[in-house]
Amino acid sequence: MTKSVRDVRVRRVYDPPLDQDGKRVLVDRLWPRGVKKIDAHLDEWTEEVGPSTELRKWYGHEPAKFEEFSRRYLVELEDPARAEALKHLRELADVHSLTLLTATKDPDISEAAVLATLLRQ
């Protein structure tokens, strides 16, 4: 018996919504600059799942640091509040297609990418 893979995507919050996005959830801890809440077309903002300010500042979205960022972020996700937020995202992904949104210029090396990998497992 094979386990079905959850349909989880990563996109920028600045990109227009697509029909296949399913539930759209912002996973950044900070609200994105220049985006009005009405224009974000969000179903939810799950800010609790975002990385700590310290980790975010240390990382600075430098591609060379992504592997270490991912490792440190996975440890942070064990924190009870973050673990509960991650559980909520898993529950959403069990029922819907899920698009994790981030303001990051390169979403492939963001916390959303780390979360998507986790949620697809």
Decide if 2 is inside a domain.
no
Beta strand 8-12 with 23-26 is unpaired
Q: Could you tell me the strand order of the sheet in which 23-26 lies? A: 8-12, 98-102, 23-26, 44-45
The answer, yes or no, to whether residue 3 has pLDDT greater than 90, is no
Question: What is the pLDDT, as a whole number, of residue 5?
Answer: 80
- Model confidence at 2, in pLDDT bands (50, 70, 90)? very low
In a domain, 53, yes or no: yes
Residue 3 placed within a domain: no
The residue segments making up the domain with residue 115 are 8-120
Rounded to two decimals, the pTM is 0.93
| 44-70 pLDDT per residue, tens | 999 999 999 999 999 999 999 999 999
**46 lies in a domain?**
yes
Per the structure, the count of domains in the chain is 1
